[in-house]
Amino acid sequence: MEHYEIIEKALIYIENNIEESLSLDSVASRFNLSKYYFHRLFSAMMGCSLNQYLLSRRLNASVKLIQNENLSLTDIAYQLNFGTPSSFTRAFKRQHGIAPSLLREKNITITEEPIPSVVKRPIKNINGDIVTDFTLKDFRAVRVCGIAFEVDLATDDYKAKFRSHSKMLLNNIDKNINGSCYVIYSNCQPNSTRFKVLLGIPHDIQIDKPYYFTIDVPQIFCASFNYFGDLLDIGDIFITDFARFLKISKQEKENSSIELIQVFENVQNLDSAYHIYVPIKKDSIDTEC
C-alpha cells in the first residue's frame, strides 16, 4: 500500500470512529505501523500532528451535534472525548471564533468541513524524519511566451482567474502541440499576497496575440519537488512541505524575484503530475543531502 493510501484510509477510519477514544497508538496499530513511523508519516503528509487533526475533526463533528437541541453541550463534550465541558468550549472558540453556546442561541451557521484530501507526492527519509522528496538542481534557462496577469490571494477569486487564463492559453495553441507548460510566480512586494503570474509555453511555439508577453527565465539553482494535483488546491500543504524541507535539509531560500516555477510536461494536460522549482542559495548546500 502506498504511503498516501495509508493516510487516506486513516482519515476515513478516524471519521468513522470520531466518538471513540482514538490515540496515536490505536490508529497506528490499526495499520500495523509503529507509532513513531506513523507520527512522522502523518505529520509529513497532512502538515499537522495526529492529535491536532483529531481535535480539529472532533470540533468539526460537534457542529452538527450542537444543532441537535436534545443534546446538552456537556453531553457533546463527553461524547466527543473532550474530557471536560470547559475544554470543549475553549477549543471550539479557538477554532470557530465563537462559543458553542452562541452557535446554538443565535442560530449561526458554520459549514462542516469534508475529510481533507491527501496530496499525492513522493517522500523520503532524512536524518530519521520524513520529508517531501526533493532534488537540488539547476532550472535551465528558458524563453517563455504566455499570458501575464496578477492575482491577490487575499481578495481575488484567484482559482477562477487562473483557470480562465489557462483556458485562454489552450484556445490559442494547436491541439497537436504537447510541449511543456510553465507557470512562473513572482511576488509583487515583500510579504504581499499579490503575485504576478506568467502562464506560457516555450518561445519557439509562437503565439501571435497582442496580450501575450515573452520573458527570459535565467538559469536558477533550485529545489525541485514533484506533485500530482492542482497547485491552487495544495498551496497550504506545499508551504508546510517547503518549511520542513528548509529545516531538515538546512537549505536557505534564495532572495529572487521569482517565487517558484511550476512545470507541466504537457500543456494539453494541466491536471497531470508536475514539478515545482523554488530558488535556493547554492552556497547553502548540505552535502549530506
Query: Which tens digit of pLDDT belongs to each residue from 131-166?
Result: 889 999 999 999 998 888 888 877 767 778 888 888
Domain ranges of the chain: 3-118, 135-284
Contact 173, 205 (CB under 8 A): yes
Percentage of the chain exceeding pLDDT 70: 94
206, pLDDT greater than 70 = no
CA distance 242 to 44: 11
pLDDT higher at 264 or 19: 19
267 closest CA partner among 156, 145, 158, 85: 145
- Return the CATH number of 135-284, one of 3.40.50.1000, 3.40.50.1110, 3.20.80.10, 3.40.30.10: 3.20.80.10
Instruction: Give the mean model confidence (pLDDT) for residues 56-78.
Output: 92
The architecture of the domain spanning 3-118 is Orthogonal Bundle (1.10)
Q: Which residues contact 28 (CB under 8 A, 6 or more apart)?
A: 34, 35, 37, 38, 39
| C-alpha neighbours within 13 Å on the C-beta side of residue 42 | 24
- Written as nine digits, the cell of 72 is 446538552
Contact 45, 116 (CB under 8 A): no
CB neighbour burial string for 204-233, b if at least 16 within 10 angstroms, e if fewer: eeebeeeebeebebeebbbbbbebebebee
Number of residues assigned to the chain: 289
Percentage of the chain exceeding pLDDT 90: 47
pLDDT-derived band at 288, boundaries 50, 70, 90? very low
DSSP sequence for 123-158: EEEETTEEEE--EEEEEPPEEEEEEEEEEETTTS-H
Q: Among 59-63, 175-179, 218-222, 224-228, where is mean pLDDT lowest?
A: 175-179
Q: What is the pLDDT of residues 77-128, one digit of tens each?
A: 999 999 899 999 999 999 999 999 988 887 778 888 999 989 889 998 887 7
pLDDT-derived band at 207, boundaries 50, 70, 90? low
pLDDT of residue 289: 42
Mean of pLDDT over the chain: 87
pLDDT of residue 41: 94
pLDDT of residue 128: 79
Residue 208's φ and ψ, nearest 5 degrees, are -95, 75
